[in-house]
Amino acid sequence: MFEHGLSVKETAKAVGFRDQFYFSRVFKRIMGYAPSAVASNNHMARLFPID
């Protein structure tokens, strides 16, 4: 999802949530971290690849 360059709002809509803030709360409750953290980590991984 985030690896495709989608924002949290776009991702929420793509998986059927109308409210990005509700999506963020549900995501954090299930995963243990905010979706923005995933997006940030993916961005950092692209900037500084370990390969």
HEC string of the chain equals CHHHCCCHHHHHHHCCCCCHHHHHHHHHHHHCCCHHHHHHHHHHHHHCCCC
- Length of the chain as a residue count: 51
6 burial class (0-12, 13-18, 19+ CB within 10 angstroms)? middle
pLDDT in tens, 24-50: 999 899 988 888 887 666 654 554 455
Q: Looking at per-residue confidence, does 13 or 42 come out higher?
A: 13
Q: Looking at per-residue confidence, does 9 or 38 come out higher?
A: 9
Averaged pLDDT for residues 5-11: 84
Averaged pLDDT for residues 9-37: 91
- The answer to whether the predicted template modeling score (pTM) of the entire model surpasses 0.75 is no
**Predicted local confidence at residue 21, as pLDDT:** 95
Structure tokens at 34: 């905010």
